[in-house]
Structure 1
């Protein structure tokens, strides 16, 4: 298996190959489920159609997400197997920047996988990882993703749910959570129900949110509020769909 460091930086498929390697390594480490390989391939196809770049509407969404996380009383960043494999350090850095909790939430949940992801995040700098208590549930869901921590996602006012399942995204929205979704498909149910849909590759999106959060924290409350109120979710979704369909 090719190591990420062995992929030439000028390779035309560098980012894509790095992503594939991280998901593959995640499966080997027991972090990512085999179904995660399929999900990654589907997302990569959309990224190809987006030009494998952060389009302006996605950047505005990332800025709005940063502002919303900074303004939140109790923000939580949800982590699944693909997220843990792809951007563990970036998620830890974002959590520290916006003072958010990290919580592991899995569809294919086992104690072994939960422990592996928690340990993986801690290896990348996380001081505390929620999710294993599972002492609360998301109403309306019958599968393992309904299990959350009472002092984590259940109590959150803002939740970042990258690479989300549509049913849980909708259930969280119905709970009144302000939901930020990172999804490469603007037509997915997750993106459609999100207050802030970021149609971008997670490798680009999470560090971008962190950068915006640092800038906004320095700029102050007025800049944070402006970034929140200026964002239009429908406009962002339309712009992403136009890029995918027409290259515009």
Structure 2
């Protein structure tokens, strides 16, 4: 990776781009992932490249859902593996969730490479290699899931844009926690908990909230979930993009 001075005004953005490039070189990120990263970066720029208070609130709610879940699964694609490998493993450990590789541009080699990469970053077990079940209503490779993974889960974290699968998972009655920088895309519009934030900030924030809530009672966690206003969270993000005003301004 090219050395980027820490005082460079675009330091974080450039580092993120290099992580995606490295992911492509490693064979874990598809070339289409480069385009997806650029699109997300544009929305992040409009959001001020910061976690809005509404997004932080959604991240806290996501943590509560993961802690309440009977079987939570964190879905991982090539961009997630490239951008937050340590952080997604830490979130799984903090919440007891499973990790499962799920890809649109799926090859068995890519699935194995991502699974191995996550293990290199501390994961004990990574699902997604069996692909012995399907998500109803999808005709592409994202439909392939493990029967004891996403197919069996009650709560699924879906990082990054994934609109058709988000809709299909909702049809299955699953609680979806979606991380997406575009509040108008199908993923957050469908999600039980739309998190309009950059995945590099959102995943560690959810982990921090999970750690903070670890000793909370079930009643306290359920109250956090019950009080969440998904429409208000989406509206706050859209307002920021349209006007530049942060929550409450």
Q: TM-score range by the shorter chain?
A: over 0.9
Aligned equivalent of 1:89, options 76, 86, 89: 86
Tell whether the 8 Å contact from 1:217 to 1:224 is kept in structure 2 after alignment.
no
Structure 1: tracts of 5 or more residues without a match: none
Equivalent position to 2:65, from 63, 68, 91: 68
CA drift at 1:112: 0.9
Q: Secondary structure at the match of 1:159?
A: strand
Equivalent residue number for residue 24 of structure 1: 21
Per the TM alignment, residue 215 of structure 1 is displaced from its structure 2 partner at its CA by: 0.4
The match for 1:179 is: 176
Match of residue 218 from structure 1: 215
Match of residue 135, structure 1, among 132, 135, 144: 132
Cα root mean square deviation, aligned: 0.9
Contact 1:23–1:32 (Cα < 8 Å) also in 2: yes
Cα deviation for residue 230 of structure 1 reads 1.5
3-state secondary structure, aligned to 2:215: helix
Aligned to 2:37: 40
- Partners in 2 of 1:113 and 1:148 — Cα distance? 15
What is the alpha-carbon distance in structure 2 between the residues aligned to residue 72 and residue 162 of structure 1?
18
Whole-Å separation in 2 of the counterparts to 1:211 and 1:7: 28
Aligned equivalents of 1:87 and 1:214: distance in 2?
18
For 1:63 and 1:206, locate their aligned partners in 2 and report how far apart those are by CA, in whole Å: 11
Report the equivalent of 1:158. 155
Deviations 1:15-67 (A, max 9, x none): 10111000000000000000000000000000000000000000000000000
Deviation at 1:225, TM superposition (A): 1.9
Aligned residue for 1:12?
Answer: 9
* TM-score of the two chains, using structure 2 as the length reference: 0.97
Cα deviation digits, residues 196-231 of structure 1 (max 9, x gap): 000000000000000000101133333322221121
1:239 paired to 2:236: yes
Q: Give the structure 1 partner of residue 50 of structure 2.
A: 53
Cα distance in 1, alignment partners of residues 66 and 11 from structure 2: 31
SS of equivalent residue, structure 2 residue 241: helix
Q: How many residues end up aligned between the 2 structures? A: 245
Q: What residue is the counterpart of 1:208 in the other structure?
A: 205
Q: Which stretches in structure 2 are left out of the alignment for 5+ residues?
A: none
2:147, 2:46 → 1: CA distance?
39
Give the TM-score, by structure 1 length.
0.97
Cα distance, 1:7 vs. partner?
2.0
